[in-house]
Chains A and B, each alone.
Chain A
Amino acid sequence: MRRVRLGVFTAACLALPHGAASAQPVAPPSAASTAPSAAPTGVLTKAPALQRFVEAVRPAGTEAIEGSVLLNLVVQVDGTVGDVTVEAPTGHGFDEAAVAAARQFTFSPAEVDGAPAAVQLSYRYNFTVTTQAVTVVADVPVGALTGVLVERGTRAPLVGVTVRIESPPLEAVTDAEGRFEFQGVPAGQVKVVVDEASYYRIEDLEPIEAGKATAVKYYVERTTSPLEGTVVVGRRLKKEVSQKTLTLTEIRKIPGTSGDALKVVQNLPSVARAPFGGGQLVIRGSNPDSSGALINRHLIPLAFHFGGLRSTFSSALLESIDLYPGNFGAEFGRFSGGVVDARVRRPKTDRIHGFVEADFFDAGVLVEGPVGENGAFALAGRRSYIDALLPLFLPDDANLDFVVAPRYYDFQAIYDWKHGPQQFKLYLFGSDDALTFLLDQPASDPAIRGSFKNQTSFSRLYANWVYRVTDDVTQDLSVSVGMNNLFFSGAGRFNFKNDVWLVTAREDIEVKLGERLKLRTGLDVESFVGELDITAPQPPKEGDDQGAGTPISTDKLITAKRDFLFVNPALWLELQARITDDLLVVPGARVDYDYKLDDYTIDPRVNARWQVVDGTTVKGGVGAYMQRPGPDESDPDFGDPTIQLERSVHSTVGLEQRLAEGLTLDSSIFYKWLYGQVVRAPAEDVTGGPLAEADQRGIDYENLGKGRVYGLEVLLRRELSDRFFGWISYTLSRSERKDAPTEAWRVFDFDQTHILTALAQYKITSAWEVGARWRFVTGNPETPYEGAIYDANTDTYTPLRANTVNSSRLPSFHQLDVRIDRNWIFDEWILTGYLEVQNAYNRANAEGYSFNYDYSERALISGVPILPSFGLRGEF
């Protein structure tokens, strides 16, 4: 609605009420419910926009008084305003006047998970006093001034912003499209003023011609970065006890991550640091393979490109990332560690948007925009150029010739359509990593020479149909079809080729059973069919020598060439019961079946959250979880098909405390019990020879392993404000394993006693931002060598490990990363450049040891030295 106040006034002074920040809620809209029973469970996918503003009627006698009332509005599903409460009164009768006016506002409906939903938001209604001295001049020629206010750089329309003409004193408020209009403006030059909170003031002289309309367009620049806040992300209804949600507005500029959203997960409590900063997800003391990366709740085989440099899905297309380090709900399964679920956002629909970016490692591009009335699309791609740069930095005597230096690319194509109660999504995305090199001379093992080639790729076609059948029933069907391709060959001796077609499907149904009860249930199926062609050494297991140990020349080679099929269906059910307004209990269960092993599990789980007082929530949960053994472990040729599913029990209790506005403390104590873990059967020949021939099952495995993981996790988090955000995360934990009932407990390969991350980001101006991250992590365990045995047949040395596995540790890791961002804001696009310095004080962090030929001497292998990098991004 356009609101114009004009005219030639006879009064010397006039008091005008208006909402000075009327369309800019003082806090992001929250998907919190108007009542517990109406709690939305998803993400706010469309914020409400003010469409009809109603001026408050000033109480008599307040014409010279200013005031500001902070209101809490409930915007109902149809955009009308329901409950209005005063959060911060100002008196003088302004509170009642503001409430009465706000009740008549109209908003565009908000959407949660793509469907219209009721939300609540804060709204500040300002009563200001404007002194207007206007002289009535008869027969003065007049014209008109029309215009539009958009945010500089993003071109987002500014809604509900007051535009003033100083002389004569006129005011107009922009409508939902940022338009404003003045009629009857005296001809000549007029001074136009826009003075809006969070934006730089605009003063401009505009010529007005009699009988004509002057059209203007103002690009108004934010005082803080315009890129922040462009993605509005609500909070899910919290029903998990350990879930951590990151939004893109927080994480794009965290130092040390090069803007990669998934890498930021590694800064949260419960996530151990991977060696060399790689992409392994080691969550709450579980194996990397025991945790999964999901896109919209569907598994992807590879979260990161080569060496963990970059995630395989564009961060720019993500809406949020949920980390579930344990005690996740029944909808997730097949992992005894944690789950990282990245949610893809709906592409923007107001106009065509896009960016081009490039940094030290790769370059990417994205284009998105509307398709028709209800559709939206996005196309994105990224390609590395390490293959072009790395050879330039290799020393001449590197004994290495890259045919294909590390190279990766990924792509995403998204179509999103929604209309009324239905939403349809179609994604096509994939990733490809390749590396080929020639090694002229072996480093220590004659087998490690010649040509080595590795290629890892996957592609997915993902379809999702969400239908809100009634206000109480929603169904969500999603299917992902694609291929995983893994190829490795080395020295003409080793070969691994694994081509897998897979289908994962989920059908989730949500039924509101009452004001306080909601039922969620679903079917979760994954199936794999593929071909395997392998001649390669057995991959090392947890507790084995992962590094420089057993020479490949002396290792047993496993050989197989055949097809395989895995089908793993699961059924899950969850009840969200809000016992009282403050107590939410979520019992659930999940039944998993493994066709290959002909084994099943029934895993009951329960989580609860109790808001003791406002700002204080106690939470807890306990549940059973399963994990499928590795494919090699259950293989009929080189594993043991008689083994069973691995089991675990997760338990967590915690406290969430709001310490101040925007400052929260989230702490948890957890204990995880692992049992039935697959380990090698004792006293078995694992290297070939007569026993392997005699024992046609290959390596014998048994479900004899046990594990226990316990610790404390703390996250002190300052949420994003205009200028600052950051957090301190700390994990104190111990993860232990027992490979046989008679053995003593030993620490897990990635056990890290202390994991501390402190990071902060500060916006100095709209152009400059700085950030820093400091980490301290206990060194990983390692097993010392005590000499070596020389195999005269193969000319290799095999180190002799100490009897106690993981009996010593690498030195502790600590590192400072800093980052400076600079924005150049133009009228219709924004250029962002950054300089990031990893390991700013050049700490020689130990990532492992290198050894001489017979393992009698060793030296620390240092990680990345001080590494400056820079990047540019142009966004429109």
Chain B
Amino acid sequence: MRSHWHTVFGLTCAALGACGDGFDPRSLLSSYRVVGVTVSANEVSPADSLTLKAWDFDPRDAGLMSDAPPPTYAWSLCPVPLGSAAQFQCLTLEGVSLEMPLEGDAAEITVDLGPDGLDLVGTVLPKVSAALAKLQGGATDGLPVTPPPTLPLQFRLRAGDPSIGVVQVVRTVSLRLAPSESAPPNKSPRLAALTADARPFCEASVEAGAPECFAGAPVGTTLNLRVELDSGPREVCTADDLAQARCPDATPPIEALTYSWFTSAGELEFDFTNDETPENALKLPARLDEEGREAQKVYVFAVVRDGRGGLDVLEASFDMTRLP
């Protein structure tokens, strides 16, 4: 009980924000950052192909650190992740890590899991079975252990550059080895539009440059940001989601969406997430980063998550101008 109180006390302290920090808010993009990794499917079969895209902020695009080299991307896959408490290590079997590098050095890659690609069934899964056997104290009669119906495939990305910042990211999808009717694959929520003061961003708008789109605002302005979801009902959580507390324990257990916001300048009203309200307010700074410039490019990212691995990202930018 004592340690329990310690946790509560620490939690309270953290929540109060009274423990002294003065750090930049998490939502402020000032160096290289990956704000999300979207996948073409949250659940895949062994023969599928999967596309991953890292949504990153490059400070050079916002006029910051413009002399720095561009970011690099190094992808890899871990079929037996040890989880966050083990600091996302990949299992090492007989001195050899099961982590395998993937082809592709861009922010977006496509991975073929089938026999012409990674060959999960022929190459990777036997290693997983061997790992499971080892962890269970050795498989009997030398037979491999049958893997469970689903396995987590953890994709890893090391991106950036020392001059602008280097980040390590993991993105996990489920590999379904046996079909299940009771637990349909989770689908990511989809963001349809990102608006500022009820106007689409000109760069993101189909009718870019149209007078009704949002192209920019002077310093000191407060913008009302909003994202629109693709229409469609929320998904129903599965029993496994509930057991792992990934969904609210409601009846029916409908997934709850949360939104994260990021900006390269200014201050967001909600620094982190705003529950199920897809809105936020961005107060632009009182002056530009560099005196003498007419405008400064500001980037905004909106990320929606369903808490079960599904996510989508929208990115927009606009010019923040000097006061006339």
Contacts and interface: CB of A to CB of B under 8 A. Distances in A.
A495 to B, nearest CB: 8
A502 B246 CA distance: 34
Interface in A286-325: 288-289, 301-303, 306-307
A448 interface: yes
B12 interface: yes
Given A695-B135, A695-B136, A789-B170, A550 B85 contact: yes
B86 A687 contact: yes
Contact of B14 (A395, A443, A488, A794): A443
B135 to A, nearest CB: 6
B135 A694 contact: yes
B23 A790 contact: no
B311 A793 contact: yes
A437 interface: yes
Q: Which of B15, B152, B260, B309 has the most CB of A within 10 A?
A: B15
Contact of A686 (B17, B83, B245, B246): B83
B260 A691 contact: no
Contacts of A693: 148
A548 interface: yes
Interface string B247-271: 0110000000010100000000011
Contacts of B275: 449
Contact of B2 (A302, A446, A862): A302
A535 interface: yes
A157 B148 CA distance: 82
Contacts of A862: 20
B170 A791 contact: yes
Contact of B84 (A279, A288, A551, A852): A551
Given A448-B15, A688-B83, A693-B148, A456 B24 contact: no
A435 B8 CA distance: 9
A306 B4 CA distance: 10
A795 interface: yes
B131 to A, nearest CB: 8
A688 B148 CA distance: 13
Interface stretch (B87-95, B226-234, B315-323): B87-95
A442 to B, nearest CB: 6
Interface string A757-800: 00000000000000000000000000000011111111110101
Given A456-B1, A791-B84, A859-B22, A683 B273 contact: no
Contacts of A394: 16
A796 B10 CA distance: 18
Contact of B167 (A395, A492, A790): A790
Contacts of B145: 694
Contact of B12 (A437, A798, A860): A437
Interface string B47-61: 000000000000000
A689 B34 contact: no
A160 B302 CA distance: 87
Given A683-B91, A791-B170, A280 B1 contact: no
A827 B16 CA distance: 49
Given A449-B273, A795-B260, A689 B245 contact: no
B5 A279 contact: yes
A444 interface: yes
A793 B309 contact: yes
Given A398-B16, A789-B88, A689 B81 contact: yes
A474 interface: no
B147 A690 contact: yes
B244 A307 contact: no
A399 B81 CA distance: 35
A486 B2 CA distance: 11
A831 B167 CA distance: 64
A677 B103 CA distance: 45
B19 interface: yes
A337 to B, nearest CB: 12
B88 A694 contact: no
Contacts of A794: 305, 307
Contacts of B83: 554, 556, 685-689
A302 B20 contact: no
B22 A279 contact: no
B241 to A, nearest CB: 11
Interface string A541-557: 00010111011001111
Contacts of B7: 539
A203 interface: no
Nearest to B247: A493
A488 B151 CA distance: 31
A317 B319 CA distance: 71
Contacts of B1: 301-302, 456, 484, 486
A719 to B, nearest CB: 32
A550 to B, nearest CB: 5
B17 A456 contact: no
A852 B21 contact: yes
A853 B85 contact: no
A288 B4 contact: no
B6 A280 contact: yes
A789 B248 CA distance: 26
Given A441-B271, A795-B305, A307 B5 contact: yes
Contacts of B132: 690-691, 694
Given A689-B152, A795-B260, A859-B22, A398 B34 contact: no
Contacts of A306: 5, 9
B283 interface: no
Given A789-B170, A793-B171, A795-B303, A555 B84 contact: yes
B11 A398 contact: no
A280 B7 CA distance: 12
A680 B79 CA distance: 22
A850 B19 contact: yes
A857 B23 CA distance: 8
Contacts of A548: 14
A454 B8 contact: yes
Given A278-B5, A306-B5, A437-B12, A398 B17 contact: yes
A851 to B, nearest CB: 8
A452 interface: yes
Contact of A488 (B4, B12, B246, B258): B4
Contacts of B311: 792-793, 795
B198 interface: no
Interface string B132-161: 100110000000010110111000000000
Interface in B11-45: 11-24, 26, 34, 36-37
Nearest to B305: A795
Contacts of A385: none
A566 interface: no
A275 B258 CA distance: 35
Contacts of A790: 34, 167-170
Interface string A532-574: 0001001110001011101100111101000000000000000
20 contacts: A276-B9, A288-B3, A289-B3, A399-B15, A435-B8, A444-B14, A444-B272, A456-B1, A535-B243, A556-B85, A686-B82, A688-B83, A689-B81, A695-B136, A792-B36, A793-B311, A795-B303, A850-B19, A854-B167, A857-B23
Given A279-B5, A795-B273, 18 more contacts: A288-B2, A302-B1, A306-B9, A399-B16, A437-B12, A443-B14, A443-B15, A452-B8, A493-B246, A683-B135, A688-B244, A691-B132, A694-B145, A791-B172, A794-B305, A795-B303, A861-B19, A861-B20
